[in-house]
């Protein structure tokens, strides 16, 4: 685990996050993009507060364009007209948008409508549900609770339905976060790095202690409520950990790259330089001060270590042999420990 002062320095230098408005971009620049065509798969239960985000979006993929504007400068919004409801029912056309001034969300929205009066059991009965981005619900006049979700962004709103059909907008100020990691300006393979996302700012001392989303993959688009998040990037399974803050904007896709300063180290216990690795060797990697970083058993253990000085201890047949070595960012190496 990084010490606090080391972690703060890493957080300050460890992230490149570009989240500019498209109108201010230079041609070809990477940026937060308008993202109407993102959404989780259908069928996510309302009880889950950590629904799975959508599949990764390939770099350069299309996210669609902002909705067209009318001659009055207002966005075209769904349900300009509503169908005739059945007798005794009222039509309510619902749609979600990226905040009060944002465009409608055209895909990936999950809807559940509950009566606002509980049953004898205390549960609120489910009246209707839909995965249509712009559903029309035919309801009896009365009070309802609309549960609307888009990725990890969730809203619950009480709606009173009268005798006249109408439409209702629900604000979901959400955006997308797509994370990558590199070392020495070279992308880290996705299977070797993972990201945990926390609410709040680490640099300002306000990050939550429990992950808001755990184990995001490189290139995966995670849909989040707008705000500041703390990202913990883990390369390998030892001490190559970088922390950084990133801001998610409503209706935008933010691409962020975490920069690791680490390398992959393969250890070998040999009887002579360049010899064959001896099997069933017990390994411990420590700092020069004796803090244990990683332990393993085998002929060729592979560790990803952040740059710095280390000591490798090899134990075999009742003997312990050690060797000091140095890790430089981006320089993978094989370290031989020679028996004496």
- Give residue 1's pLDDT: 36
Domain end: 260, 281, 296, which one? 260
H/E element, 5: helix 4-13
In a domain, 204, yes or no: yes
The span from the CA of 115 to the CA of 113, in Å, is 7
Mean pLDDT of 241-255: 95
Residue 309 backbone phi and psi in degrees, to 5: -100, 145
- Give residue 340's pLDDT: 76
Residue recorded with tokens 């990133």: 246
Domain end: 243, 260, 277, which one? 260
- Give residue 207's pLDDT: 80
Confidence band of 75 (pLDDT split at 50, 70, 90) = low
Do residues 315 and 246 share a domain? no
- Give residue 175's pLDDT: 95
The total number of structural domains in the chain stands at: 3
Residue 197 backbone phi and psi in degrees, to 5: -115, 125
Do residues 206 and 154 share a domain? no
Mean pLDDT of 96-107: 91
In a domain, 99, yes or no: yes
Domain containing 301 equals 262-338
**pLDDT per position as a tens digit, 5-64:** 433 343 444 444 433 322 222 222 233 443 333 333 333 333 332 333 333 333 333 232
Do residues 254 and 277 share a domain? no
In a domain, 72, yes or no: no
Look at phi and psi of residue 131 and say left if phi exceeds 0, alpha if psi is from -120 to 50, else beta. alpha
The span from the CA of 164 to the CA of 142, in Å, is 12
pLDDT exceeds cutoff 50 at 102:
yes
More confident residue, 203 or 135: 135
Mean pLDDT of 58-80: 45
Say which CATH number the domain at 280 has.
2.60.40.1120
What residues are paired with 156 via a beta bridge?
A: 147
- Give residue 54's pLDDT: 38
Do residues 233 and 252 share a domain? yes
More confident residue, 4 or 251: 251
- Give residue 52's pLDDT: 36
- Give residue 235's pLDDT: 97
In a domain, 196, yes or no: yes
Say which CATH number the domain at 95 has.
2.60.40.10
In a domain, 44, yes or no: no
DSSP H helical ranges for 1-111: 4-13
More confident residue, 301 or 71: 301
Contact (CB, 8 A) for 244 and 233: yes
State pTM to two decimals: 0.75
pLDDT exceeds cutoff 80 at 76:
no
* % of the chain with per-residue pLDDT over 70: 78
Domain end: 237, 260, 283, which one? 260
């Amino acid at each position: 685990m990084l010490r606090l002062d080391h972690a703060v320095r890493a957080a300050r230098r460890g992230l490149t996050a570009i989240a500019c408005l498209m109108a201010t971009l230079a041609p070809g620049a990477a940026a937060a993009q308008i993202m109407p065509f993102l959404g989780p798969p259908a069928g996510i239960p309302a009880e889950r507060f950590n629904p799975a985000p959508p599949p990764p979006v390939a770099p350069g993929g299309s996210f669609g364009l902002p909705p067209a504007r009318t001659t009055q400068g207002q966005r075209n919004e769904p349900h300009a007209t509503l169908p005739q409801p059945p007798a005794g029912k009222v039509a309510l056309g619902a749609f979600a948008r990226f905040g009060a001034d944002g465009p409608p969300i055209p895909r990936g929205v999950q809807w559940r409508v509950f009566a606002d009066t509980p049953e004898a059991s205390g549960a609120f009965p489910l009246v209707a549900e839909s995965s249509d981005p712009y559903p029309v619900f035919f309801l009896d006049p009365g009070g309802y609770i609309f549960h609307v979700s888009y990725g990890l962004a969730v809203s619950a709103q009480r709606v009173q339905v009268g005798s006249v059909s109408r439409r209702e907008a629900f604000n979901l100020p959400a955006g997308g976060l797509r994370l990558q990691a590199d070392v020495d300006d070279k992308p880290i393979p996705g299977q070797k790095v993972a990201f945990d996302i926390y609410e709040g700012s680490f640099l300002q001392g306000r990050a939550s202690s429990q992950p808001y989303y755990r184990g995001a993959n490189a290139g995966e688009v995670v849909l989040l409520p707008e705000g500041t998040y703390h990202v913990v990037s883990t390369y390998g399974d030892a001490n190559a950990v970088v922390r950084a803050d990133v801001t998610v904007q409503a209706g935008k896709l933010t691409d962020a790259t975490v920069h690791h300063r680490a390398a992959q180290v393969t250890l070998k216990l040999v009887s002579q330089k360049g010899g064959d690795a001896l099997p069933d060797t017990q390994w411990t990697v420590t700092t020069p001060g004796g803090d244990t970083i990683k332990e393993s058993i085998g002929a060729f253990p592979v560790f990803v270590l952040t740059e710095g000085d280390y000591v490798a201890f090899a134990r075999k047949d009742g003997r312990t042999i050690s060797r000091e070595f140095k890790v430089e960012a981006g320089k993978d190496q094989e370290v031989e420990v020679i028996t004496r």
